[in-house]
Amino acid sequence: MFLGIDIGTSSVKAVLVDERAAIVAQGSAPLSVARPQARYAEQDPEDWWQATLSAVGGLPRAQRAAVGAVGLSGQMHGATLLDRHDRVVRPAMLWCDGRAAFECLELERREPRARAITGNLMMPGFTAPKLLWIARHEPQHFARVARVLLPKDYVRLRLTGEAVSDLSDASGTGWLDVAGRRWSEAMLAASGLERAQMPQLVEGSAPSGRLTAHAAAQLQLPRIQVAGGAGDNAASAVGMGIIAPGQTLLSLGTSGVLFAVTGQFRPNPDKAAHAFCHCLPDRWHQMSVLLTAASALDWVGQIMGEADPQRLVAAAEVESLGASSPFFLPYLSGERTPHNDPHARGVFFGLTAQCTRGALVLAVLEGVALAFADGLDVLLESGETIGEISVTGGGARLRYWGQLLAAALNRPLSYRAGSELGGALGAARLARLALTGTAPEAVCTPPPQTALIEPRADLVARLAERRPLFMRLYRDLKDRFQELER
């Protein structure tokens, strides 16, 4: 067996995969996000560890005894600060925390080569500006920082006692020379940090340590090897067999991602595209990132008192998407691609007394689909060739949403077995690679296709008709967002 653990934002998932690549067991445990102020998003790292114990503990004990290696996937960018005794200094600031906008400008002022070194526009969600924010606002905490880890790497520390990260996850810190696949001394110095405060770097398919006796006993696992693993999107790509240039993944989770594999480093920072290392050697990828995707549906469901996303989507499906249907800007946590605007807010536009609950849900589904179309334009502008797109994430269960997405992107969407477990499944595959040394092409194959959604001509035409107004709404409101925050 091979075990994959995905440290997500809303849950920790664990999946067991056998040597035939079949999923034989899975477990999960919920997580919550603390939002003490506007644009703040934090979690206690201890919660990740306790949820890991719970998710893995939910797997059959006999099958756990047969595990040969474990891989890790995780939410990216989270600033996990540890002191010299590896004690947590403060709650981790998450990928969706938007308070460090000023520090992004300050970091690029301190190191004018930042975009050339990292290949990325500095964004509030990245790890590096968070450390500048802490140095400025919480100097007593910054003075105690002996080590900075990403969420999954904190769990690795608890598993193995080793401070290690992989190159895909490290790409999102703002401290990596992404083309050279190594820490940048210049970016660390601009952040007031040293190389000694960073974890060791390995490829995602390489070993990173073994379970300690204590962790093995807690999890009731053998003292097995832990793979380097990956950031959640790179892990999901491996889980769906997206490892070769030209292959593309759409992740419809808490956030939304379009992930395109490249055979070389191809940055486009001016349009807020991410250019990161893939979790396999000598491969990179570009990403367009939405900060709010399936979480927008959760949000509107919470307001309506409906926790079942299937029922929400059923209410939307009976509505007719017409010229006078309301719009929704899905910027509940700000936005990255293409706007890089932490001040952006969610907006319903065009409401009338005739609007039904289903019409509002439909506006949310359409708004996320049109935001993905904005992201696709950025990838196409960078020279990517995008054909059929594989879908992963919890939102992949909602096939009517898939119809809207296929129409907005004007691309066929492929659904595959285990797509909702993308990150954990990819982590299990990386565990297998680390243990066996097998070629990635032999292990990271696409799972069986369960559905293919072709773009419907009528929906393509309707969304193309509505999209210009959707785009103008953000431009018209951009200055008002900042005014509202002041």
Assess whether pLDDT exceeds 90 at residue 285.
yes
The answer to whether residue 260 is domain-embedded is: no
Assess whether pLDDT exceeds 90 at residue 270.
no
Selecting among 97, 169, 177, 232, the annotated active-site residue is 232
The answer to whether residue 198 is domain-embedded is: yes
Placement of tokens 């000023």 in the chain: 102
pLDDT tens for each residue of 422-460: 799 999 999 999 999 999 999 999 999 999 999 999 999
State how beta strands 11-17 and 182-183 pair.
Answer: unpaired
Would you call 232 a catalytic residue per the annotation? yes
What was the pLDDT predicted at 263? 85
Torsion of CA 364, 336, 250, 154, to 10 degrees: -110
Question: What share of the chain in percent tops pLDDT 90?
Answer: 88
Find all residues with CB under 8 Å of 260, minimum gap 6, and list them: 246, 247, 248, 249, 285, 286, 287, 379, 384, 386
The answer to whether residue 32 is domain-embedded is: yes
Placement of tokens 């960073």 in the chain: 198
Assess whether pLDDT exceeds 80 at residue 121.
yes
What was the pLDDT predicted at 105? 96
CATH number, residue 71: 3.30.420.40
The answer to whether residue 278 is domain-embedded is: no
Mean pLDDT (the chain) is 95
Assess whether pLDDT exceeds 90 at residue 384.
no
The tally of domains found in the chain comes to: 1
Q: Which domain holds residue 180?
A: 2-240
pLDDT tens for each residue of 302-352: 999 999 999 999 999 999 998 889 999 999 989 989 998 989 999 999 999
Assess whether pLDDT exceeds 90 at residue 264.
no
The answer to whether residue 40 is domain-embedded is: yes
Transcribe 280-310 into DSSP letters: STT-EEEEEEES-SHHHHHHHHHHHT---HH
The answer to whether residue 356 is domain-embedded is: no
The answer to whether residue 245 is domain-embedded is: no
Assess whether pLDDT exceeds 90 at residue 356.
yes
The answer to whether residue 226 is domain-embedded is: yes
- Mean pLDDT in residue range 78-86: 98
pLDDT tens for each residue of 127-177: 999 999 999 999 999 999 999 999 999 999 999 999 999 999 999 999 999
What was the pLDDT predicted at 394? 84
Assess whether pLDDT exceeds 90 at residue 254.
no
